[in-house]
Amino acid sequence: MENVNLKINGLDVSAPAGSTILEAAHIAGIKIPTLCFLKDINEIGACRMCIVEVKGARNLVAACVHPINEGMEVRTNTPQLIEARKRTLELILSDHDKKCLSCVRSGNCELQALCQELGVADENYFSGEMNRYEPDTSAAHMVRDNNKCILCRRCSAVCEKSQAVGVIGPNQRGFATFIGSPFEMGLGETSCVSCGQCIAACPTGALYEKDFLDDVLAAIEDPEKHVVVQPAPSVRAALGEEFGYPMGTDVEGKMAAALRRIGFDKVFDTDYSADLTIMEEANEFIERVQNGGVLPMMTSCSPGWVKYCEHYFPDLLDNLSSCKSPQQMFGAVTKTYYAEKMGIDPKDIVCVSVMPCTAKKFEIGRDDQDAAGVPDVDISITTRELARLIRKVGIDFQSLPDEGFDDPLGESTGAGVIFGATGGVMEAALRTAVETLTGEELKSVEFTEVRGTDGIKEATYHVADMDVKVAVASGLANAKQILEKVRSGEADYHFIEIMCCPGGCVNGGGQPQVHADVRNFTDVRAVRAKVLYDNDAAKPLRKSHDNPSIKKLYEEYLGKPGSEKAHHVLHTRYVKRSIN
């Protein structure tokens, strides 16, 4: 692409034509502060933090949306600009609930960071009338506290553009403007899918998951309770970010050690039940293909996606695999097979999951998720909550040794690990389905066509005299495109993997928040996914059906994949929901 030459702060800079001033400055190593800007999602130039001086321009311009021109001269850090940005922050603070000490985002708040960087000396510089809102606690997974909202619209842009949901947005006008749902419905009454991408996008403490750490600690303290924990694949790929490790560090060993020191009776692994999901899902797929079942079959591990399907594509519910998600399969096996094996009453087991996801908090309360007559999973916490728990109980994470998981529900293969990245479930399922259909060992277990962070991926594999057409989508707006083709009959896929969050669970709504100034220039999805693929490549076993603990589970308890018992324990039903 052609380059454009300009001067920024007196430096000669060359950047691709079509770049914004913000992008050109980034190339030159110059940071311009931003607040409302989220690349590709919220490019509205509204907050005025990124204002810069352009020679010859009548007004200060917003660097995040202003394109560069040949010969342009830009200044980004004059005293007047710094003063103007400071004034903007002071105005934002004039209607912001400044209870920072008790705020969940304190120390990790983008507004707070900007105030420090620009030297805001008096948070009450403009004090006057303030809006007061009752926090919305109606949803199962999160709280919306408009008192801390700065109206940047990052949340509503993500909800509508990335996720094709759009249940929150700006209502009213001027000083009365607030982010809300139609007709002042609570979020729980809307067709919110619980993905939590709004939380990941929020720069302040206005949006946060419901915190269940007190329940976890109470269960651990209770001598009557046997408390087991299962962290999802993606947690190990991001937890380190909360403790000063660079993004893309695998902290699996330290995570297991931390969970043990928190006091869980058993430290198991959701990777185990990811392998189990593959056994059931691959079997279900083969059965559908061989017996003329409903195709394309669609994966069901992502509870945000499942809820989206129920609200927006209820006519396609028969295409959803009946398999419970790995979280729920884990809980179901814990409270049936494991409980029997250990001689513990399922009522005395507390199953805690650690998830990169907020929709998992909704999922544990779904109907038909109680294989032993009690909920499969009792408490679901996010990666962020786990980080808070580790700090709360006084564990020095960095100095922990690397430890492993407990048996028997801690053993996993590489196929289970890659569940956290878009395309991972498809690849894991193909590893098992292809070997089952052909009866031959795969030469290579890597299906690279379904890897990568593209929103939509397609591939065709020739398996046992049949062309198997697969599609993979992540981010619900991408999923919507595929689903509309399925609905109209235009697409003839056999198998579709859908993950709710863009890039898959590694970029889930429960993962450590990444400030926009990093997120705008780093592909968080790819960096975290690499952790999982590297982890997979290093494993001696990489196919779910080779997992010795899973084989034993079928021998001792379930019989074979798709058996009546497997259906009772590991499968579920869906319901039609309306759009609000």
Partner 1 sequence: MPEKKQTVPFSGTKEQEEALLQVIAGLKDEPGALMPILQKAQDIYGYLPMEVQKMISDETGIPLEKIYGVVTFYSQFSLSPKGKYRISVCLGTACYVKGSGDIYNALMEKLGIVGGECTPDGKFSLDACRCVGACGLAPVMMVNDEVYGRLTVDDIDDILAKYE
CA distances from residue 415 to 50, 153, 165 in whole angstroms, order as listed: 44, 38, 31
If binding is defined by CB under 8 A, does position 181 make contact with partner 1? yes
Nearer to partner 1, 94 or 171 (CB): 171
H-helix segments, 313-363? 326-333, 339-342, 359-363
H-helix segments, 163-251? 197-201, 213-221
If binding is defined by CB under 8 A, does position 452 make contact with partner 1? no
If binding is defined by CB under 8 A, does position 336 make contact with partner 1? no
Nearer to partner 1, 173 or 443 (CB): 173
Nearest approach, Cβ of residue 170 and partner 1 (Å): 5
If binding is defined by CB under 8 A, does position 172 make contact with partner 1? yes
If binding is defined by CB under 8 A, does position 488 make contact with partner 1? no
If binding is defined by CB under 8 A, does position 183 make contact with partner 1? yes
CA pair distance 74, 22, nearest whole angstrom: 11
Backbone angles phi, psi at 11, to 5 degrees: -85, 140
Nearest approach, Cβ of residue 144 and partner 1 (Å): 10
Backbone angles phi, psi at 190, to 5 degrees: -90, 180
CA pair distance 163, 507, nearest whole angstrom: 13
If binding is defined by CB under 8 A, does position 163 make contact with partner 1? no
Nearer to partner 1, 291 or 578 (CB): 578
Interface pick for partner 1 out of 95, 160, 446, 454 (rule CB under 8 A): 160
* Subset of 184-243 contacting partner 1 (CB under 8 A): 184, 190
Nearer to partner 1, 169 or 455 (CB): 169
Nearest approach, Cβ of residue 49 and partner 1 (Å): 23
Nearest approach, Cβ of residue 576 and partner 1 (Å): 15
79-118 mask for partner 1 (x: CB under 8 A)? ----------------------------------------
129-158 mask for partner 1 (x: CB under 8 A)? ----xx-x---------x---------x--
Backbone angles phi, psi at 467, to 5 degrees: -90, 110
Nearest approach, Cβ of residue 184 and partner 1 (Å): 6
Q: Which of the stretches 178-186, 350-358, 394-402, 539-547 binds partner 1 when contact is defined by CB under 8 A?
A: 178-186
If binding is defined by CB under 8 A, does position 323 make contact with partner 1? no
Q: Which of the stretches 80-88, 183-191, 260-268, 529-537 binds partner 1 when contact is defined by CB under 8 A?
A: 183-191
CA pair distance 266, 260, nearest whole angstrom: 7
Nearest approach, Cβ of residue 208 and partner 1 (Å): 18
Pick from 390, 27, 420, 52: nearest CA to 232: 420
Asked if residue 569 lies in contact with residue 558, where contact means CB atoms within 8 angstroms, the answer is yes
Asked if residue 78 lies in contact with residue 35, where contact means CB atoms within 8 angstroms, the answer is no
If binding is defined by CB under 8 A, does position 167 make contact with partner 1? yes
Cα angle 468, 506, 270 (rounded to 5 degrees) comes to 80
The residues, ordered by sequence, that sit 6+ positions from 459 with a Cβ below 8 Å of its Cβ are 447, 449, 450, 469, 470
Interface pick for partner 1 out of 16, 119, 170, 559 (rule CB under 8 A): 170
CA pair distance 210, 195, nearest whole angstrom: 13
Nearest approach, Cβ of residue 159 and partner 1 (Å): 8
As to burial, measured by CB atoms within 10 angstroms (0-12 exposed, 13-18 middle, 19+ buried), residue 565 is middle
Pick from 452, 444, 460: nearest CA to 423: 452
Interface pick for partner 1 out of 71, 119, 182, 365 (rule CB under 8 A): 182
Residues that bind partner 1 (CB under 8 A): 133-134, 136, 146, 156, 160, 165-173, 176, 178, 180-184, 190, 579-580
